[in-house]
Amino acid sequence: MTRYFVADNGESRGPYTLEQVAALIREGRVGTDTPMWMDGLADWQAATRVLAGTGLLAAPAAPPPLPALDAAHHAGPTETPVIAAYGRRAAASLIDGLVLILPLCLLFLLPRLLIDDDGAAFAVGEPLALLASLAYYGLLQGRDEGATLGKRAVGIRVVRDDGRALGTRLALGRYALLMLFGMLLIPYLVPLFNARRKGLHDMICGTTVIEGVSDRHPRLDFSASHIGGWGALTWVLVALLLLVPFAMGMLAALAIPAYQDYAVRSQVALAIERARTVSEQVAAYHERRGRWPLNAGELGLAENTPIAGVATMRLGEHGTVSLTFTPRPIEGVDLEIRIDDRGHRQCVTSLPRKFTGRACSPAGINAPRAL
């Protein structure tokens, strides 16, 4: 073990171990210029030379210089930003939603094509869509531009409160908080009630959404800042949001009744076609037997025969085939196909003509069948 000796007021003190020397340094009894001697030295030397390589009395390391960007940021001129209006932020979110909807749906549904278990497919698809959404917002807003495609389109970006770029980690955390708070409605209204239009996620992360698309990050002074306008594109999107639902409602008001009429007309035509076939069987029976069948059983049919969930069919007097419809809006309405003395069929019903069309006309009922 190496022995150390220390000069104290002209007297040699020791021997000390290295640990004991460290204690003397902490007590202030040994300084950089204190004479010391250790085994192997020819003469006394300053403590810094004797203890070189032991880590004792070593000069503290100087901190590295500030990065050039930070130095320029703190030393450069300040700018007064224009705070992005709530409408612009909403328009940017709408555009981003339109950009993401197709890729996210594909990621969500893709596992269903590969995995038979719906529960397992959902457990895979949902995280995939969530990660893709995080990557979109985190990577784009973490760059120097600080803007997603939607923000760039309406001319806004997100920065730290001092003007610097967010960086990927802060951008990811900011969007994760937005999704967390988005499960409630109130956080979306918070920006309306503070001067800098900050959401809860902005308040926590120390970020602000401002106007302008740029990769510059000067120091910002919000003391004289004001809220900007909505912008032309925002107003166009708002108009579309108002007009599109109205137009869709008008189309639905016209299309839904028309489709319902078409569906009923198809059902009626199906039932009439089936009744026409039975009427032909009745006529053939009359021609062979010289009388009308007394009931449907003589034709091999059941009483009140159902027709594809559309109507019930029964056989009446003088070969009359009667239908009673079951679907709405014609539930309970009857239709009869009668045979006159000359063998011609007549379609008698209280159904509106729009539901029967040519199927219940003399030409339709008596039309010859193609061979």
Residue 68 lies inside a defined structural domain of this protein = no
The reply to whether 213 and 264 lie within a common domain is no
The reply to whether 162 and 99 lie within a common domain is yes
pLDDT (average), residues 46-54:
84
Residue 85 lies inside a defined structural domain of this protein = yes
Q: How far is it, in rounded angstroms, from Cα 196 to Cα 233?
A: 22
Residue 158 lies inside a defined structural domain of this protein = yes
The H helix count followed by the E strand count for the chain is 12, 15
pLDDT in tens, 239-265: 776 676 777 788 888 888 888 888 888
The reply to whether 81 and 175 lie within a common domain is yes
Q: How far is it, in rounded angstroms, from Cα 65 to Cα 243?
A: 58
Residue 212 lies inside a defined structural domain of this protein = yes
For residue 282, report the phi and psi dihedrals to the nearest 5 degrees: -65, -45
Residue 323 lies inside a defined structural domain of this protein = yes
Calculate the alpha carbon distances from 96 to 39, 151, 186 in Å: 75, 8, 21
| CATH code of 311's domain | 3.30.700.10
The reply to whether 15 and 124 lie within a common domain is no
Q: How far is it, in rounded angstroms, from Cα 294 to Cα 291?
A: 9
The reply to whether 25 and 83 lie within a common domain is no
The reply to whether 32 and 130 lie within a common domain is no
Residue 144 lies inside a defined structural domain of this protein = yes
Residue 208 lies inside a defined structural domain of this protein = yes
Residue 56 lies inside a defined structural domain of this protein = no
The reply to whether 80 and 195 lie within a common domain is yes
The reply to whether 177 and 274 lie within a common domain is no
pLDDT in tens, 72-114: 455 556 788 889 888 888 888 888 988 998 988 888 888 888 8
Question: Which candidate, 236, 201, 243, 245, places its Cα nearest to that of 87?
Answer: 236
Tell me the pLDDT band of 169, cut-offs 50, 70 and 90. Answer: very high
Could you give the number of structural domains in the chain?
A: 3
Q: How far is it, in rounded angstroms, from Cα 51 to Cα 35?
A: 11
Examine the pLDDT at 266 and tell me if it is beyond 70: yes
Question: Which candidate, 316, 294, 292, places its Cα nearest to that of 304?
Answer: 316
Examine the pLDDT at 194 and tell me if it is beyond 60: yes
What is the extent of the structural domain holding 11?
A: 4-50
The reply to whether 278 and 203 lie within a common domain is no
